């Protein structure tokens, strides 16, 4: 189940709880309004488990469609009597996760589309356009420039083996996708992504969001930190979170532990200190998470905004160079003929 489905499920279940409807009856109502699909089948399993008297966390675990984090939080909500608050917070949490993922996908997808368009334009020029100019030069007794000839040779080879190249590209793409899904592939992908500064911000935002969710559910800071630590994949953020946990176990206060570990910025730590003093630490932590997520989106948007003009400029220079290398000799021949 993806983050979008999780957000919808948690939000709807929170509404069911708020309205006072019995859980399994509320799930049954959700099933009636849902079309056939994996989500509907999952709800049927959950409704059956609840009808047999099982707790919601056990029903979610039985369905096999929910992350351990979700079932763990639901269990905490059941034990503490704050299940409605937990489901609302989970719905907001997964909504933010989905928005963050969409921002990342857009930042990656857009440059790939531009690169593909650049490649197609260059191939059309080298395969279709330049041979026409070559024929014109031959008829006029001239010779096309070296740059244009190089592009034309590349185009000739590409055109001859175009189907083989396409198949190889597809196979490599499928192999990369399959490799990323393996345990080793995920590790290498995380290690490579971990070197990027923005991934550290993303991990920090998710850590803060998880902390805010658990604090809002009535969990103390020690347990919230320990549970949130399990969700962190970025090595730098994980090291800081572990240092913070060690500081807490050593008897340090939560704010001092955050300050020593430097997991958040100085401004965010001061905000949390004020939130601790006023008793609004969960709300301030949510604000910190929102701030980091906004920074990530702004950073991604800036990078996409830079990629577009740079790509257009590169494409224009490449195409312009080819056309100039063809047109100048052609103009020289026309002048000599005139």
Query: What tokens appear for 67 in the block?
Result: 């992350």
- Please check whether the domain covering 3-94 is classified as CATH 1.20.1260.10: no
pLDDT at residue 17, as a whole number: 86
Q: Is residue 141 predicted with pLDDT exceeding 80?
A: no
Residues 6+ away with beta carbon under 8 Å from 92: 7, 213
- Average pLDDT in the 177-183 region? 70
Which of 85-94, 157-166, 186-195, 322-331 shows the lowest per-residue confidence on average (mean pLDDT)? 186-195
Neighbouring C-beta atoms of residue 61, cutoff 10 Å: 19
Residue 31 pLDDT level (bands cut at 50, 70, 90): confident
Which of 9-18, 176-185, 190-199, 289-298 shows the lowest per-residue confidence on average (mean pLDDT)? 190-199
Residue 193 pLDDT level (bands cut at 50, 70, 90): low
Which of 16-25, 75-84, 232-241, 261-270 shows the lowest per-residue confidence on average (mean pLDDT)? 75-84
Neighbouring C-beta atoms of residue 288, cutoff 10 Å: 25
3-state secondary structure of 333: helix
Is the pTM higher than 0.75? The answer reads no
Residue 22 pLDDT level (bands cut at 50, 70, 90): confident
Asked whether 60 and 70 are in contact (CB, 8 A), the reply is yes
Crossing angle for the helix pair 23-32 and 3-19, to the nearest 10 degrees? 130
Q: Is residue 189 predicted with pLDDT exceeding 60?
A: no
Q: Where in the chain is the domain with CATH 1.20.81.30?
A: 3-94
Neighbouring C-beta atoms of residue 114, cutoff 10 Å: 18
H-state helical runs in the chain: 3-19, 23-32, 38-51, 56-63, 68-80, 83-124, 130-140, 146-160, 162-181, 183-193, 197-216, 221-229, 235-249, 254-261, 266-278, 281-337
pLDDT at residue 140, as a whole number: 66
pLDDT at residue 326, as a whole number: 67
Q: Is residue 50 predicted with pLDDT exceeding 60?
A: yes
- Average pLDDT in the 120-149 region? 71
Residue 191 pLDDT level (bands cut at 50, 70, 90): low
Give 177-231 as a DSSP string: HHHHHSHHHHHHHHHHHTTSHHHHHHHHHHHHHHHHHHHHTT--HHHHHHHHHTT
């Amino acid at each position: 189940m993806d983050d979008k489905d999780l957000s919808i499920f948690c939000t709807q279940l929170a509404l069911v709880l708020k309205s006072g409807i019995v859980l399994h009856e509320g799930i049954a109502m959700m099933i009636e309004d849902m079309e056939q699909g994996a989500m509907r089948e999952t709800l049927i399993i959950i409704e059956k488990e609840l009808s047999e008297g099982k707790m919601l966390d056990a029903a979610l675990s039985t369905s096999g469609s929910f992350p351990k984090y979700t079932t763990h939080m639901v269990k905490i909500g059941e034990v503490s009597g704050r299940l409605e608050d937990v489901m609302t917070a989970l719905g907001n949490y997964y909504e933010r996760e989905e928005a963050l993922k969409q921002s990342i996908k857009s930042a990656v997808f857009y440059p790939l589309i531009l690169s593909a368009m650049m490649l197609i334009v260059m191939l059309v020029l080298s395969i279709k356009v330049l041979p026409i100019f070559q024929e014109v030069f031959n008829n006029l007794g001239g010779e096309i420039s070296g740059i244009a000839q190089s592009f034309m040779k590349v185009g000739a080879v590409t055109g001859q083996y175009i189907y083989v190249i396409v198949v190889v590209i597809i196979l490599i793409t499928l192999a990369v996708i399959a490799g990323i899904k393996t345990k080793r592939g995920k590790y290498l992908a995380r290690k490579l992504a971990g070197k990027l500064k923005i991934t550290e911000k993303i991990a920090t935002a998710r850590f803060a969001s998880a902390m805010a969710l658990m604090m809002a559910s009535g969990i103390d800071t020690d347990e919230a930190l320990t549970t949130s630590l399990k969700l962190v994949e970025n090595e730098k953020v994980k090291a800081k979170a572990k240092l913070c946990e060690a500081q807490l176990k050593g008897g340090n206060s939560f704010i001092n532990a955050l300050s020593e570990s430097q997991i958040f910025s100085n401004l965010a730590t001061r905000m949390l200190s004020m939130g601790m003093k006023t008793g609004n630490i969960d709300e301030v932590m949510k604000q910190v998470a929102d701030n980091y997520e906004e920074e990530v989106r702004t950073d991604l948007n800036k990078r996409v905004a830079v990629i577009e003009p740079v790509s257009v400029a590169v494409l224009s220079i490449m195409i312009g160079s080819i056309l100039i290398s063809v047109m100048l000799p052609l103009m020289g021949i026309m002048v000599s003929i005139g």
